[in-house]
Each structure stands twice: as C-alpha cells, then as structure tokens.
Amino acid sequence: MEKIGIIDLGSNSARLVIVNLFADNYFMVVDELKESVRLGQDMERDGFLKPQRVAETIKTLKMFRKLCDASGVTRIIAVATAAVRRAKNQRSFLDEIQANCGIKIRVLTAEEEAVYVYRGVINTMDVPKGIILEIGGGSTKIVYYNRRNIINHATLPFGAVTLTGLFSEDGLKPEEQALKIEEFFTEQLKQIEWINEVDPEVQMIGVGGSFRNLFKISKMVHKYPLDTVHNYTMLAEDFMPVYDMIKVLDLDKKKKIKGLSSERADILPAALALIKSFVTFFNFDRFIMSGAGLREGIMFNQALPITEEKPISDVLTYSLTTLVKYYGCDEKHVEHVVNLSIQLFKQLRVLHKFPRQYLKVLKVAATLHDCGQRIKFYNHQRHSCYMILNANLYGVSHRDMVLAAFTACCHKKEDINNYDWARYRDILSEDDIEIVRRLGVMLRIAESLDRSMSGTIKSINCDILGDSVIMKTEVDGDAALEIRDAMTACSEFKKSFHKNLEIL
C-alpha cells in the first residue's frame, strides 16, 4: 500500500487529501485539511498574486507538508488552478513555494482542470448524460458529456471570488449585485458556441464548495437526515427560496445562517447567482450535487491509470468492492451471498413484482451486510445499517442507499420498526417498509445458505406451487448447517410473501 498526498491550490481555498492506494487498484481517503487562502483575491486589478495572499498560502502549504510527513506520505501531487494559471508572477510564486515548502506545484491548463473534474464525476455517479457546472474561486467550468464521453467543455475566467470583487460596486444593494452577476453570466453562456447543442434531457450536476455549502443549508432547512452531499438532488423550487433569502442579506447576517461557512459567506451569493442563471438558462427543474471533482479525478488516475483513457464501467461495483476491502469483509462469502441473493430476486419476481432497480438495492445490502462486524459481532446488522448510511458510496441514489441500509439490517432477525423510520420520511414512504422486509428476507436466506462461508450451496432453484415455494439447492458437500439456518426464516418469509417455504 502506498500513501500519497494530493494538494489542490485553488483561487479561494487550499486543500490537502491523504489517500491510501491499495495494490489492487483501489483507494481510500484517510485524512484531509483545508484552509481558506483567497489566493485569487484582488488579482483582477493588475494580474499579480498579492504578497499577503502569497504569505498565507506558503504558511498553509508548510502545514500541509508537516501533516504529510507525520502521516507517512511518500509522494505529494500538488496542482494549482485559475489564480496561479493567470498570475503574472507565477514563476516567482512557484519557486518560492519550492524553496520554502519543498513542494513542486504543477499548474493545470484550463482543459486539464475540466477533464479532472469530469473524471471525478463520471467515476462516482451513474448519470449517463450530464452537464457539469463547477464553480471555483477564480474560474467556472462547464462540461457536457453523453454516453460517458466528453462532448464539449468551456472554462470561463471568473468564479465566486473574482465575481464578488468585480461586482462589489458602492451604492448597490446585495440583491442588485446578485442580479448583475446573473445577467453577466447569462450573456457569457450565450457566447459559448456549442451551448445550444446540449440535449434538453441532460441532467445538471453541481461541483465545488459552493454546492457543498448549499447542501448544508438545505439540510438544515429541510431537516434532511443524511450527511452525504454526493448524489443529493435539489429541486429548483427549493433552491430559489434559499437564493432569495441569502442574496438580500449583508455580510454579518449571512455569517449567522446555519450551515453556511463563515469563510464562504461573502462569496456564496455570487456562486448562487451563477447557479440561478444556469438553471434558468437551461430550464432545469432540479440538479444533482457531486461531492467528487478535481481531486477525486486525480485519485482515480493514480489508483486506476486506465481511467485516463476511459471511465469505470460499473461505478457501483467498484465502490462496493473498495468498501469490502477497506472493511475487511470476507470477499468470497460476500460474492457468494450476492449471487444467491440475485438468484432469489429473479426466481421470486412473480411474487414480489419489484422492478429491476431494486436489484441494485439488494446488491448493496448483500455486499455490505457483514461490514458492521468491524465494530462488533453482536447486533452487527445494526452497525452495518449505520455504516451503509454513512459510507462514501458511489453510483447509488440516496433513496436506494437508505433502502439498502435497512435491508442489510434485516439479514438477522430484526424488526425495522425499532429504527426511526419516520426520520427518513422525506426519502422513503410507508410502502417502502414492505419492500425492505421482502428484500431483507431474501438476503437473510441467501446469507444462511452460505452459513459456513464455504460455498457449499452452489445454486438454488425455486418452484412456486400453490401456497408453497419449494427451494431446491445444488450442493457440493454437507449442507445441513446451511439449510437448517435458512429454515429459521420461514415465518418471516410467509409474512412477506404469503407462502410456505420448503428448502430441499
């Protein structure tokens, strides 16, 4: 295993993530550090990075270096974006960092930056056709892709920091400044040659710190139960009240808003004005937020170099495999339980009548059903539920993730009413309780059929006859333990499917 540090020096903030690279092309973030350096502030006047900003950046990078050394990082990959890319004193700035911090920074071209953002998104989201809006401090990236290939991209030379500076005219009210930014950005969009060729069915994906802050505010407003920004969907009708509230406030009042970072309070209105303009221009009724962007694009390229040529074909499976390895689950047992669960889902379809999308839910639950043992064996199904709800899980919607967590909880005899189902009422419905119970019974039987974790039962075949389901097993060895354990689920099976269960 190799431990690397990735430094992203942006116009607004500097970020360090420390990543473990596993030998078999997987990775896991194990630490991070962020500082607001405002490197791009006041650059629009003369194009030079200001001495105070440079000093603050060097101080921050020294801290990053210290953490890397203390953490056993063997390699640092440091990149800089818009502010450094445009700076007239770029060379002296980079030399000063090299001399004081021992860190060599590579300045990304606008195209490289856009491609890294795209790779971070495409390898973590199951959205086949999208347009990415990434709002940085000193630039704004727009990436249009279809069938997991980039069609077009554009980098506009302004971001939340630079726009805040450009439109902070004396005498203008905050809402007037926001309106001017909206109008300005709309005109810039119209000048992008390919913008009118975008498929009207495309989905909008938001990337960057402003979207993460917007999620935190929305979470507070709606009492959203999950802490995961990745794959969070926000309706335009929910975005507008937040924007209308923030754009009229002065700085002191903005800093008091719950969920809004005080370091971002002054520049968030500009970012929200860009989002408003973008949503209106394309007439989007919603957008999805991505917690992955440029840094994740670099991580994927380091852990899985093939992603420089083509994206991961199955985002969810790659993500699940990463967690299985990280949690130390028995990989052969996991694979066998997943296969048996899928067989049950398909063979009992005439009874449950679930659409194919629920197979994804069952796959997540079956893969991670035992991960809670990393905390404690007893009641590990409850720990598995919690870990799924809080995992860095890619390629799955929030609703499916919650369903999978409760399904995993049911792989032992567990009444899901013991959990605060009402807490997730904005994500799930009362009808979903029965879905979870049925998926949970299938998972419980599948896990029982590999009770000895030896793969004794190779496959199953279900015959539905009258009021019974006859489950025939194909075995290699003595399967008495497995069949006995699976039969303990008969009562739950009958409650869920209204059929008696026999296992042969």
pLDDT tens for each residue of the chain, 504 residues long: 899 999 999 988 999 999 999 988 999 999 999 999 989 888 878 889 999 999 999 999 999 999 999 999 999 999 999 999 999 999 999 999 999 999 999 999 999 999 999 999 999 999 999 999 999 999 999 999 999 999 999 999 999 988 988 888 767 888 889 999 999 999 999 999 999 999 999 999 999 999 999 999 999 989 999 999 999 999 999 999 999 999 888 777 766 777 677 777 888 999 999 999 999 999 999 999 999 999 999 999 999 999 999 999 999 999 999 999 999 999 999 999 999 999 999 999 999 999 999 999 999 999 999 999 999 998 888 899 999 999 989 999 999 999 999 999 987 766 665 567 778 888 988 889 899 999 999 999 999 999 999 999 999 999 999 999 999 999 999 999 999 999 999 999 999 999 999 999
Longest dimension (CA), the chain: 84
pLDDT at 415: 60
Which residue type occupies 100?
A: N
Q: Could you tell me what percentage of the chain is helix, strand and coil, using 3-state DSSP and rounding each to the nearest 5?
A: 50, 20, 30
- Residues 309/249, Cβ–Cβ less than 8 Å: no
Dump strand ranges (E) for 55-177.
75-80, 105-107, 129-135, 140-146, 149-156
- Residues 469/502, Cβ–Cβ less than 8 Å: yes
Q: What are the C-alpha distances in Å from 429 to residues 206, 399, 434?
A: 27, 10, 10
Q: Quick one: 453 exposed, middle or buried, by C-beta within 10 A (0-12, 13-18, 19+)?
A: middle
The region that residue 178 occupies, defined by phi over 0 for left and psi between -120 and 50 for alpha, beta otherwise, is alpha
* Cα–Cα dist 180/166, whole Å: 10
Dump strand ranges (E) for 157-230.
203-207
Give me 382's structure tokens: 């409850």
* Cα–Cα dist 389/327, whole Å: 15
Please, what is the angle between helix 90-101 and helix 51-71, to 10°?
40
Tokens 């347009």 correspond to what residue? Answer: 131
Give me 82's structure tokens: 């818009």
* Cα–Cα dist 388/369, whole Å: 9
Tell me the three-class secondary structure of 405-446, residue by residue: HHHHHCCCCCCHHHCCHHHHCCCCCCCHHHHHHHHHHHHHHH
Sheet containing 2-9, strands listed edge to edge, beginning at the edge strand earlier in sequence: 27-36, 13-21, 2-9, 75-80, 105-107
pLDDT at 167: 86
Give me 283's structure tokens: 């007439």
pLDDT at 363: 98
* Cα–Cα dist 382/363, whole Å: 18
Give me 142's structure tokens: 């727009």
**SS3 call for 175:** helix
Q: How far apart are the first and last CA of the chain?
A: 45
**SS3 call for 383:** helix
Tokens 């920074």 correspond to what residue? Answer: 105
* Cα–Cα dist 256/261, whole Å: 9
Which residue type occupies 375?
A: I
Give me 497's structure tokens: 């499917």
Specify the DSSP class assigned to residue 296. H
Q: What are the C-alpha distances in Å from 295 to residues 29, 193, 303, 359?
A: 11, 28, 12, 31
Q: In this structure, is the dihedral angle defined by the CA atoms of residues 97, 99, 101 and 103, taken in order, positive or negative?
A: positive
The region that residue 466 occupies, defined by phi over 0 for left and psi between -120 and 50 for alpha, beta otherwise, is left
Give me 441's structure tokens: 């019974």
Q: Centre a 10 Å sphere on the Cβ of residue 9 and count the other Cβ atoms it contains.
A: 25
Listed residue (27, 127, 14) closest to 80, CA to CA: 14
- pTM, to two decimals: 0.94
Half-sphere exposure of 333 (CA within 13 A, CB side): 18
Residues 6+ positions from 445 with CB-CB distance below 8 Å: 340, 344, 471, 486, 489, 493
Q: Centre a 10 Å sphere on the Cβ of residue 325 and count the other Cβ atoms it contains.
A: 14
Dump strand ranges (E) for 345-386.
none
Give me 108's structure tokens: 């990304």
Which residue type occupies 285?
A: D
pLDDT at 40: 85
